[in-house]
Amino acid sequence: MQRIILFILTNLAVMLVLSIVLAILMPALGLNSSSNMGLLVISGVFGMGGSIISLLMSKWIAKRSVGARVIEQPVNEHERWLLSTVESQARQAGIGTPEVAIYESPEINAFATGASRNNALVAVSTGLLRSMTREEAEAVLGHEVSHVANGDMITLTLIQGVLNTFVFFFARIVASAINRGSNNQFVYFMTVMAFQVVFGMLASIVVMWFSRQREFRADAGGASLAGKQKMIAALERLQSNQSADKIKGELDGQLTAFGISGGRGMGSLFMSHPPLQTRIDALRGRTI
């Protein structure tokens, strides 16, 4: 329930900010919403603006959505190991040390998020810490640090923002063409919604394709930082738990895309992660 409330409040705040931006920007540019250029500007503000604001707020949202506790002063040897491992890997990757957090969840998972390579968060679940060996956990941390070093959060945000812009824009262009000569606003609205769903699904295929490609890169990065065999062992551990695991994934939205393990039971075109066996095979065939 807390996640739903946070999601609703965050999106309302984003919509309010973007509406204020448009109220200032449109008159300044001498545009109105009835022109194609005006519609494109509106689409860009909501499409790109929403994605960028979400990126800037990603650490704050992530911490609250999963209840992550940032390790500021380690209280035991295990937390000291987590901090020192991420710090060492970040130094090898040439980025600023991310914040390191732990969140309560029986799911074996971890994720990275943040607005830049030097302002990021790496969080691991208690389920991962209980179920993986230290060598496997080290590889998972390397995978997440590689996401940060590769700039995946920023790139995915830009891709999503551009696609959101065109979904918003073309849904209205097509709906206007279909309803030309009609003043029925309800029919126009329903046509817009229908095409937003259709174009949104096509956009999701593009985003998920990119997401799967950068998983291979993050696996390779994790293998480089922690060792190839450790990365393979970590993926094999996830694979062995996947069939028996009945726990619902607790990461939502963009966090799912940046977890070490993605969703299951979806069509291959809409999966954020490649199948684990495919990732393992890719690593085994790679010289690192």
Residues with a known catalytic role: 144
Distance between CA atoms of residues 202 and 41, nearest Å: 22
The CA-atom distances, in angstroms, between 249 and each of 34, 96, 202, 242, 243 are 43, 29, 24, 11, 13
Q: Closest by alpha carbon to 58, among 121, 140, 100?
A: 121
- Alpha carbon dihedral 150, 154, 155, 159, in 10-degree steps, equals 160
- The C-alpha torsion from 7 through 12 and 14 to 17, rounded to 10°, is -160
Helix (H) or strand (E) holding 124, with range, is: strand 119-125
Residue with tokens 């295929």: 205
